[in-house]
């Protein structure tokens, strides 16, 4: 059981990062369709950075910059040039897929890039508590960072002037302008930050979990993160909870496969996505989108 829950947390961690970034972007009024591409770029940059420098810290820095770069592109195209959010986001995802595949071949050729995955950092004392210790306090570093990120983003959004202005930008940018702030700038910053944070999510996948990068390794997790932030009603803790549910669904799928149930493994793998669709359809219109989301300034 502990194994199962720990697996759920492990699978949810990259989703939580991406969802946090997505919340920033959507609260500021830009649909976070590009999360998949931002994650993928982050995953790629992290492994390349760590491989080239033999330092995980450099890998993480590059993940932030790589994800942020996709964010910058989305920000310029949607905010500055007022392009459609959906189309831009999808294009960014395709761009990231092509770019990472291409760069991987140039940089590594046929050699497999392998770096040491980030190991667990058991928290002294706490990690020795029975049950809770191995479950909650024996994770690799980025998992703790995800939790800190939820707390930090909650405080930023709901307790500071910056967060207030950011949320208002997604609801009524004219009010922000009249209040003396610059909604366009706020949106740019939010989308770029979204890319940087989602890039860290990608780094969790590649650098923390497997130590290598494979083409298209995010495999739709960006979209799953998008679904969780909607299910979580654009609230960091809510989105994290949704990510954990999706993580649990995927963890369950590995278990079921282990039991040798006579169902195609592809059907079982669809589980988290089917759950996402079912939940979104169930929420339907009751979800409250930021009023000005997707509209150019």
Q: What minimum distance in Å lies between the beta carbon of 171 and other proteins? A: 5
Q: What is d(CA 191, CA 193) in angstroms, rounded to the nearest whole number?
A: 5
| Backbone φ and ψ of 166, nearest 5° | -60, -50
Nearest to 280 by CA among 244, 241, 233, 238: 233
Q: What minimum distance in Å lies between the beta carbon of 235 and other proteins? A: 13
Joined tokens for residue 226:
């998008």
Q: Which is nearer to other proteins, 82 or 159 (CB)?
A: 159
Q: What minimum distance in Å lies between the beta carbon of 154 and other proteins? A: 13
Q: Which is nearer to other proteins, 22 or 173 (CB)?
A: 173
Q: Which CA distances in Å does 167 have to 16, 31, 154?
A: 20, 14, 12
Stretch that binds other proteins, among 12-20, 54-62, 162-170, 245-253 (CB under 8 A): 162-170
100 contacts: CB under 8 Å, gap ≥ 6: 40, 41, 43, 44, 213, 215
CA distance between the termini of the chain: 50
Joined tokens for residue 68:
């942020």
Q: Which is nearer to other proteins, 103 or 175 (CB)?
A: 175
Q: What minimum distance in Å lies between the beta carbon of 291 and other proteins? A: 6
| DSSP classification of residue 54 | S
Binders of other proteins among 249-288, rule CB under 8 A? Answer: 288
Binders of other proteins among 61-120, rule CB under 8 A? Answer: none
Site membership for other proteins, residue 27 (CB under 8 A): no
Q: What minimum distance in Å lies between the beta carbon of 180 and other proteins? A: 5
Q: Which is nearer to other proteins, 175 or 271 (CB)?
A: 175
Q: What is d(CA 145, CA 181) in angstroms, rounded to the nearest whole number?
A: 30
Joined tokens for residue 282:
């169930």
Q: Which is nearer to other proteins, 176 or 276 (CB)?
A: 176
Binders of other proteins among 165-194, rule CB under 8 A? Answer: 165, 167-168, 171-172, 174-176, 178-181
Among 54, 114, 162, 265, binds other proteins (CB under 8 A): 162
Site membership for other proteins, residue 290 (CB under 8 A): yes
Q: What minimum distance in Å lies between the beta carbon of 69 and other proteins? A: 29
Q: Which is nearer to other proteins, 6 or 175 (CB)?
A: 175
Q: Which is nearer to other proteins, 18 or 229 (CB)?
A: 229
Q: What minimum distance in Å lies between the beta carbon of 172 and other proteins? A: 5
Q: What is d(CA 121, CA 238) in angstroms, rounded to the nearest whole number?
A: 26
Among 159, 185, 255, 295, binds other proteins (CB under 8 A): 159
A 10 A CB-CB count for 243 gives 33
247 contacts: CB under 8 Å, gap ≥ 6: 7, 8, 9, 10, 11, 12, 13, 15
Counting residues that bind other proteins (by CB under 8 A) gives 20
Q: Which CA distances in Å does 115 have to 18, 65, 118, 144, 197?
A: 23, 19, 9, 21, 22
Q: Which is nearer to other proteins, 53 or 172 (CB)?
A: 172
Q: What minimum distance in Å lies between the beta carbon of 26 and other proteins? A: 13
Binding site for other proteins (CB under 8 A): 159-162, 164-165, 167-168, 171-172, 174-176, 178-181, 288, 290-291
């Amino acid at each position: 059981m502990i194994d199962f829950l720990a697996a759920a947390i492990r699978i949810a961690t990259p989703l939580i990062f991406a969802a946090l970034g997505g919340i920033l972007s959507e609260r500021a009024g830009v649909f976070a369709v590009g999360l998949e591409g931002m994650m993928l770029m982050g995953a790629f940059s992290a492994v390349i950075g760590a491989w080239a420098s033999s330092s995980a810290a450099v890998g993480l820095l590059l993940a932030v910059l790589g994800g942020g770069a996709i964010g910058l592109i989305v920000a310029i195209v949607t905010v500055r040039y007022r392009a459609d959010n959906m189309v831009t986001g999808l294009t960014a995802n395709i761009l990231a897929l092509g770019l990472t595949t291409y760069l991987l071949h140039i940089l590594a050729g046929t050699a497999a890039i392998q770096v040491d995955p980030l190991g667990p950092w058991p928290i002294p004392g706490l990690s020795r508590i029975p049950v809770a210790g191995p479950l909650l306090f024996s994770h690799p570093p980025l998992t703790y960072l995800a939790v800190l990120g939820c707390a930090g983003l909650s405080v930023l959004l709901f307790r500071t002037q910056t967060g207030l202005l950011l949320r208002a930008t997604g609801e009524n940018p004219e009010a922000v302008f009249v209040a003396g702030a610059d909604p366009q700038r706020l949106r740019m910053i939010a989308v770029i930050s979204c890319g940087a944070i989602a890039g860290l999510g990608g780094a969790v996948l590649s650098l923390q979990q497997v130590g290598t990068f494979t083409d298209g390794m995010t495999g739709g997790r960006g979209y799953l993160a998008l679904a969780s932030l909607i299910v979580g009603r654009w609230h960091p803790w809510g989105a994290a909870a949704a990510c954990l549910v999706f993580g649990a669904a995927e963890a369950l799928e590995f278990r079921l496969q282990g039991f040798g149930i006579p169902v195609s493994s592809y059907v079982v793998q669809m589980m988290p996505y089917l759950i996402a669709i079912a939940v979104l359809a169930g929420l339907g219109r009751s979800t409250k989108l930021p009023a000005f989301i997707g509209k150019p300034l």
